[in-house]
Chains A and B, each alone.
Chain A
Amino acid sequence: MKKLLSIILALAMMIIPVFAFSGSTYAADTVTLNVYNWGQYISDGTDGYIDVIAEFEAAYPNIKVNYMTFDSNETMYTKLQTDPYAYDVIVPSDYMIQKLISEDRLEELNFDNIPNYEYLDDSFKNMAYDPENKYSVPYTWGYVGIIYNSKYVNEEDTGSWDLLWNPTYAGKILMFDNPRDAFAAGELLLGYGLNTEDEEELSAVTEKLKEQKNLVQAYVMDQIFDKMEREEAWIAPYYAGDYLLMVEENEDLSFYAPEEGFNLFVDALCIPKGARNKEAAELFINFLCSPEICGPNLEYLGYSTPFSAAKEYMDEEMNENEIAYPSEELLSKGQAFNALSVEGSQLMNELWLSVKTSDNVLGRYIIFTCAALVLVIILWAVLAIRKKRRISKRCGGYEK
């Protein structure tokens, strides 16, 4: 009886997947669109804001969005290298777009499918990273500054990048976990350009970052939100738009654009070479560019919009927010990243690794290890001698 039952069950298990499979083939005309975006970088329906993906799926019922996130341009680039056809829409920053274009990793966009491109402000056309406007449509722009908790941090210490090197706040400082942004902080503090590939300058920055390491609580990206909101950390360099999200959770958080200057960036929508659903991807890009969607979406994000027409669909307050839309005077201090040469970015990666792995306790560990090895050898010798004695004793006892 039991046997019969198990056979039936086994047969059932073989049949069920067949049905499941036929079910999925039945709905074959739905397209799955793989979108690969930064973490916390689209309005997802929280706090009564617009749910962009749900709206898109409602507007195009035969497209299903598979939404995935990354936490730095470098992570995104690595994933793209290991699995080039996994994504249909990606959102790299300016310097990464330039790098991807030079490596021929982006599809040219068909602007017939993106009529909303006409709303784009002229100041965001013909950007240095995509001079002919062939590969990218700007999604947001913003700049980097320092977020601090005014409850614990003295106002007098703020204003410059050196807050990140202030020993008073040791253990409460967070730092970028990607080489480009982390080096930018050091480069600005030391007065170098953001795109320097000069070995001497880069190694000076490396020393500066190593010096900072003892004060840093953690090298993180998206975790900055959680750590700052819960006051586990007090100081963190991050993107201005994200500060506006954080301050809604914790009112004590403040923000400033450092006086030495800062990185000004554009994140844009692109389609990787060989994407499986190019047309659906273009529909998605077009959807994000329409002012009615872009406005509420960016109102939630706190990042600044390259589509002035979208401001009509935003809250007044957001429109006039000095952090989201700073004065021309402040913006003139911003510098854009350019793509580094292959050798330059490899050098930076190596130096960054040396910062993260730098240590001054090697001596202690070597002493410990030597001591342990000596102990092991002594133990081995003692055991060997004891064993020999025992054998000889026993042999003596038998008197062969």
Chain B
Amino acid sequence: MKRKFLAAPYVVWMLLFTLVPLFIVIYFAFTDSITGAFTLNNLVSITDYATIFLRSIWLSVAATLICLIIGYPVAYTIAQCKPKTQRILHMLIMLPMCMSFLLRTLAWVALLEDTGIINNIITSLGITPLPLIRNSGAVILGMVYNYLPYMILPLYTSISKQNPRLIEAAEDLGCNKVNVFRKVILPLSLPGITSGITMVFVPAVSTFYISQKLGSPGTILVGDVIESQFKGAYNPNLGAAMSLILMILIFICIGITNHFTKNTDEEVMMS
């Protein structure tokens, strides 16, 4: 009973600042921007933006997979180090997060631009400048760079929490290194992978700043369109409808990941 009481401030916070705004979003999504009457037009007109929704999802899926591929070995290596080194490395991973997200993205712009630092070096060597910025690759790069720590940290936590005796047991029972990883370490780190994927995918799919700075007019994402509806065009109803659809799509994507990780989880328990 006591413990439930302790959660009360958070419950109030959730109600006031998450649930109530959510209902406002739903209300706006189903009303007309001028008359305020009930309408489905906002949701219907979203089909015009199918490409943008699909692009947002694809670019963030790519960014999430790259984060996972880069992040897993890093997390694994950190978890193998001595506790003192672990603390230092953990802090180094956190370090970029201490700096403003906008500043980090702008720094990439300065690096990648046609007249940026990298291309300046390249041209001074007599090579033609490379098209580094304003393409999907640059947007994915921006997402990976900004969200990589959110992948590494949960992975590191789940790997470092593993009981070393399980690995010893597997080795005693004749598993080679590859099989120890495949049958013990990887399955046990699945919760970390799931939360890592969620923590990278969700902010990446709804991002709006990265694509504006590193992308071209042709790589506009859902976040950009939603932002423009609230900032310049003042059609919050369409913006709300888009946020709603985006939220549903995110839930579907997370559902798919959870389904697969849970599946294999059970398998481990059985084998």
Count residues of chain A with CB under 8 A from any CB of chain B. Answer: 43
Which residues of chain A have C-beta atoms less than 8 A from B218's C-beta? 213-214, 359
Are A213 and B232 in contact, CB atoms less than 8 angstroms apart?
Answer: no
Tell me which of B4-12, B51-59, B89-97, B202-210 binds A: B51-59
Separation in Å of the B151 CB from the closest CB of chain A? 20
Q: How far is the CA of A354 from the CA of B225 in the complex (A)?
A: 10
- Encoded as 1 (CB less than 8 Å from any A CB) or 0, chain B from 207 to 245 comes to 000000000111010000100111111110000000000
Separation in Å of the B154 CB from the closest CB of chain A? 23
Separation in Å of the A246 CB from the closest CB of chain B? 15
Complex A-B: 11 CB contacts under 8 Å: A75-B231, A78-B234, A81-B234, A216-B217, A218-B134, A219-B217, A353-B229, A376-B256, A380-B259, A383-B260, A387-B263
Count residues of chain B with CB under 8 A from any CB of chain A. Answer: 37
By DSSP majority rule, is chain A's interface helix, strand, loop, or mixed?
Answer: helix
Tell me which of A21-29, A105-113, A364-372 binds B: A364-372
Are A353 and B225 in contact, CB atoms less than 8 angstroms apart?
Answer: yes
> From A213, which residue of chain B is reached at the shortest CB distance?
B217
Which residues of chain A have C-beta atoms less than 8 A from B114's C-beta? 232
Which residues of chain B have C-beta atoms less than 8 A from A320's C-beta? none
With known contacts A74-B232, A75-B232, A232-B114, A359–B52 Cβ distance under 8 A: yes
A333: interface (CB < 8 Å): no
Are B54 and A218 in contact, CB atoms less than 8 angstroms apart?
Answer: no
- In the A-B complex, the 9 residue pairs with the smallest Cβ-Cβ separation, listed nearest first, are A365-B54, A359-B51, A349-B233, A362-B51, A74-B232, A78-B234, A232-B115, A216-B217, A230-B115
Number of A-B contacts defined by CB within 8 Å: 93
Identify which of B54, B216, B234, B267 contacts A77 (C-beta below 8 A).
B234
By DSSP majority rule, is chain B's interface helix, strand, loop, or mixed?
Answer: helix
Separation in Å of the A251 CB from the closest CB of chain B? 16
Which residues of chain B have C-beta atoms less than 8 A from A16's C-beta? none
With known contacts A357-B49, A383-B260, A369–B54 Cβ distance under 8 A: yes
B162: interface (CB < 8 Å): no
B271: interface (CB < 8 Å): yes
Are A383 and B263 in contact, CB atoms less than 8 angstroms apart?
Answer: yes
Q: A218-B134, A231-B115 are in contact. List 11 more A-B contacts (CB 8 A).
A: A74-B234, A75-B232, A78-B232, A213-B217, A230-B115, A346-B33, A359-B51, A361-B51, A376-B256, A379-B260, A390-B271
> From A352, which residue of chain B is reached at the shortest CB distance?
B233
Q: Which of A213, A219, A356 counts the most B-chain CB atoms under 10 A from its CB?
A: A356
Are B234 and A356 in contact, CB atoms less than 8 angstroms apart?
Answer: no
Are B263 and A74 in contact, CB atoms less than 8 angstroms apart?
Answer: no
Are A383 and B55 in contact, CB atoms less than 8 angstroms apart?
Answer: no
